[in-house]
């Protein structure tokens, strides 16, 4: 059997870290547990990641990589700005397939006392906001939306969906997908000062 590359081994460790986070919670994960489940020594994990905090942060980035790649494809893809904007928000929303919301909410809690994780979360959130703001700017350029502070609008929209995610995960009260979509359209129409009909995608 060929020897695994360092990149492959690193990805395995990050995947196992995510498994441990889902099972135990981010605060309870130990390097020793990840090492044992991954079949490597704790010293090797510390060699590659430095600290437990770095390991958790890189695991979170690893978990978000595919969703961010999909988001980039949505915002740069075909369709009107309104259609792409709704698709991006659908992807972000707690009823959609994007991200492991349980991990994100867990990470928010741990980040209150972990500066490394807090910085990573801030960077990841900024990437979501910038991508959504870019589509809003496309709509402004096309004359579909009025001139707005797109970053501020994207920040408020993602905060709205973050709140719904907390309710969905913590309180187990998830609105039906159709109701959630209607709420997104109403909120977006209010933020952009447009008729909701303008946002109806094909």
Q: How far are the Cα atoms of 34, 46, 175 from residue 42, in angstroms, in the given order?
A: 8, 6, 43
Q: Which residues of 122-161 are buried (b: 16+ CB within 10 A; e: fewer)?
A: eebbeebbebbbbbbbbbbeeebbeebebbebbbebbebb
Q: What is the CATH number of the domain that holds 69?
A: 1.10.357.10
d(CA 52, CA 40): 15
173 part of a folded domain = yes
111 lies in the same domain as 30:
no
Locate 129 and state its tokens.
Answer: 């906001």
55 part of a folded domain = no
The total of structural domains in the chain comes to 2
35 lies in the same domain as 114:
no
32 lies in the same domain as 100:
no
d(CA 66, CA 78): 20
Q: What is the CATH number of the domain that holds 30?
A: 1.10.10.60
71 lies in the same domain as 93:
yes
Per-residue pLDDT of the chain (202 residues; tens, 9 = 90+): 456 777 888 889 999 999 999 899 999 999 999 999 998 899 999 988 999 999 999 999 998 888 889 899 999 999 899 999 999 998 888 875 545 788 889 999 999 999 999 999 999 999 999 999 999 999 999 999 999 999 999 999 999 999 988 888 887 777 777 888 888 899 999 999 999 888 875 4
88 lies in the same domain as 143:
yes
177 part of a folded domain = yes
d(CA 194, CA 105): 32
56 part of a folded domain = no
d(CA 10, CA 107): 21
d(CA 131, CA 155): 11
112 lies in the same domain as 73:
yes
Predicted local confidence at residue 1, as pLDDT = 47
25 lies in the same domain as 81:
no
136 lies in the same domain as 175:
yes
Predicted local confidence at residue 90, as pLDDT = 87
Predicted local confidence at residue 96, as pLDDT = 55
85 lies in the same domain as 166:
yes
114 lies in the same domain as 173:
yes
Domain hosting 180: range is 64-199
59 part of a folded domain = no
Predicted local confidence at residue 201, as pLDDT = 53
Name the packing angle between helices 52-75 and 115-141 (round to 10°). Answer: 10
159 lies in the same domain as 191:
yes
Closest among 111, 33, 98, 31 to 63, alpha carbons compared: 98
């Amino acid at each position: 059997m060929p020897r695994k590359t360092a990149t492959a081994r690193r990805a395995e460790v990050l995947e196992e870290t995510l498994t441990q986070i889902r099972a135990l919670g981010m605060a309870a994960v130990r390097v020793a547990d990840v090492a044992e489940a991954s079949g490597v020594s704790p010293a090797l994990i510390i060699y590659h990641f430095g600290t437990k905090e770095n390991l958790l942060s890189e695991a979170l980035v690893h978990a978000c990589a595919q969703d961010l790649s999909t988001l980039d494809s949505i915002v740069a893809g075909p369709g009107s700005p309104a259609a792409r904007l709704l698709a991006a928000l659908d992807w972000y929303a707690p009823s959609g397939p994007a991200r492991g919301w349980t991990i994100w909410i867990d990470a928010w809690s741990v980040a209150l006392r972990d500066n490394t994780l807090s910085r990573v979360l801030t960077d990841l959130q900024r990437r979501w906001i910038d991508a959504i703001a870019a589509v809003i700017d496309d709509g402004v350029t096309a004359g579909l939306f009025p001139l707005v502070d797109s970053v501020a609008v994207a920040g408020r929209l993602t905060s709205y969906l973050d709140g719904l995610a907390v309710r969905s995960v913590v309180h187990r009260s998830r609105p039906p997908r159709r109701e959630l979509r209607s709420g997104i359209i109403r909120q977006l129409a209010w933020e952009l000062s447009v008729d909701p009909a303008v946002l109806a995608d094909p």
